[in-house]
Amino acid sequence: MRMSSFDWVMLLSLSLIWGGSFFLNAVILTELPTLTLVAARVSLAAVTLWGFAAITGRLRGLTPTVWLAFAVMGFVNNAIPFTFIVHAQTSISSGLASILNATTPLFTILVAGVFLSDERFSVLRLAGVAIGLFGVVVMIGTDALDGIGSSVWAQMFSLCAALSYGFASVFGRRFRTMGIDPIQVAMGQVTMSSLMLWPVAIVSDRPFDLAMPSATVWGALGVLSVICTACAYILYFKVLERAGATNISMVTFLVPVSAIVLGVLFLGETLHISHVIGMLLIGLGLIVIDGRMFSRMGN
């Protein structure tokens, strides 16, 4: 499946939105435990999407079969990866977490190659993933790899989150054949993941016994829920519907790029030569995964 210009715009927009989620997680974790953070994030996103769906007349046609599919999607695309990523961030650096998260396209290509007839595994795509992943390492800095020898369980959580995202992208393709609107899918999955996460969070974290979060944490949680979750998943499912599982997984290469660009533009950070080289490698990897240039050369 190919990416149109509009698909690329949506994918880049998604990477910009998700580029700030690691920072927001770090801010919220100073006052809220992991499961409470994740449950609150998807719950506030669900409220936002229910309101939008009601206003735009998208609450019809949601059968029990559809809700069951939403439950599976919420489990593999929210409950598992959100919990694993946030938990991992308590033990490993955000740089290493970003690198491990960037293995998502690799897992997606492997899973899609097994289950999707129109996204078969190819050596060209695998090579593109390898180039892109190397670009992420160069851009973030090889120093981030120093922590690989420690916090093994946290790293395994990050890799399991990436694998879960791979299965989610492949499973999410079925909503197109079911005729379900991307906004409905986004609403349904965060609703079901909220129902899964709150009972566990209440038992594990006892959130009602915690001190009231500060205004800073409430603000970060609001942005994380409404922008980085509700709005982001509308874009996510739209790209998935139009361009397929492998292409949507490429957003994990672009998220570190977006984070660095945002830091340079708004935080006064310095753009180093390693950042430029890493971005060029990621761009080359995306071109190889896309494959159109090689098809034209072959013709």
Give the model's pLDDT for residue 55. 94
Helix pair 21-28, 215-225: axis angle to 10 deg? 140
Share of the chain above pLDDT 90, in %: 39
Q: Does the pLDDT value for residue 105 go beyond 90?
A: no
pLDDT at position 126 is 86
Of 11-20, 79-88, 158-167, 277-286, give the range with the top mean pLDDT.
158-167
Instruction: Report the pLDDT value the prediction gives residue 1, as an integer from 0 to 100.
Output: 60
Out of 51-65, 125-139, 279-293, which region has the weakest mean confidence (pLDDT)?
279-293
Task: For residues 99 and 118, give the distance between their C-alpha atoms in angstroms, rounded to a whole number.
Answer: 28
Residue 255's pLDDT is what? Answer: 84
149 pLDDT more than 80: no
pLDDT averaged over the chain? 86
For residues 227-252, average pLDDT: 90
When pLDDT is cut at 50, 70 and 90, the band that residue 297 belongs to is low
Residue 223: pLDDT above 70? Answer: yes
pLDDT at 196 over 80: yes
Where do we find the tokens 């599919």?
A: 69
Rounded to whole angstroms, how far apart are CA atoms 227 and 161?
A: 21
| Per-residue pLDDT at 202 | 93
254 or 225: which carries more pLDDT confidence? Answer: 225
Whether the pLDDT of residue 73 is over 90: the answer is: yes
What are the residues whose beta carbons fall under 8 Å from the beta carbon of 88, sequence distance 6 or more?
97, 100, 154, 155, 157, 158, 161
Give the H or E element holding residue 95.
Answer: helix 94-101
Task: State the average pLDDT over residues 106-134.
Answer: 85
Residues 235, 13 contacting (CB under 8 angstroms): yes
pLDDT reported for residue 258: 81
The pTM for the full model equals: 0.83
Distance of CA 198 to the CA centre of its chain: 21
pLDDT band at 65 (very low <50, low <70, confident <90, very high): very high
244 Rama sector, left if φ>0, alpha if ψ -120 to 50, beta otherwise? left
Say how far apart CA 146 and CA 98 lie, in whole Å: 14
Distance separating alpha carbons of residues 128 and 3, to the nearest angstrom: 15
Q: Find the mean pLDDT for residues 166-185.
A: 92
Average pLDDT for 254-264: 79
